[in-house]
Amino acid sequence: MPYEDDPTQGKDRPVLLIGRSGGNLLGLMLTSRDRNNAFDADPDYLDIGTGAWDSQGRPSEVKLDRILQLDPAAVRREGAVISRTLFEKVAARLAVRSG
């Protein structure tokens, strides 16, 4: 989907789709910026490793503290499908966060 701050940027915001709410898709932002490493740990991000969603093969993290509601028409392309195991790991962390 387009970046929020500048949709004309031409670059897509990678998003992990996690479900639906009415006519909208629900998603979590992905980033290749490392927020969980030997020097720092951010509980709002979960390491999910590498996958076909990043053409450069960079490790990614998913942002857990904000669920995006997306118009399905805003989805520009499918990058990859994650494994069920990885999806369940993300879902479990979301469940812990929501109490």
For residue 83, the SS3 value is coil
Work out the average pLDDT over 45-70.
Answer: 92
User: Which residues lie closer than 8 Å to 74 by C-beta, 6 or more apart?
Assistant: 1, 2
The single residue listed with the structure tokens 């490793």 is: 49
Beta carbons of 62 and 30 less than 8 angstroms apart: yes
Residue type, 42: D
Correct CATH for 7-97 of 1.10.3720.10, 2.40.50.140, 3.30.420.40, 2.30.30.110: 2.30.30.110
Report the pLDDT value the prediction gives residue 55, as an integer from 0 to 100.
85
Q: What is the pTM of this model?
A: 0.82
Q: What distance in Å separates the CA atoms of residue 75 and residue 11, rounded to the nearest whole number?
A: 12
Window from 5-9, 17-21, 43-47 with minimum mean pLDDT? 5-9
Report the pLDDT value the prediction gives residue 93, as an integer from 0 to 100.
93
Report the pLDDT value the prediction gives residue 13, as an integer from 0 to 100.
75
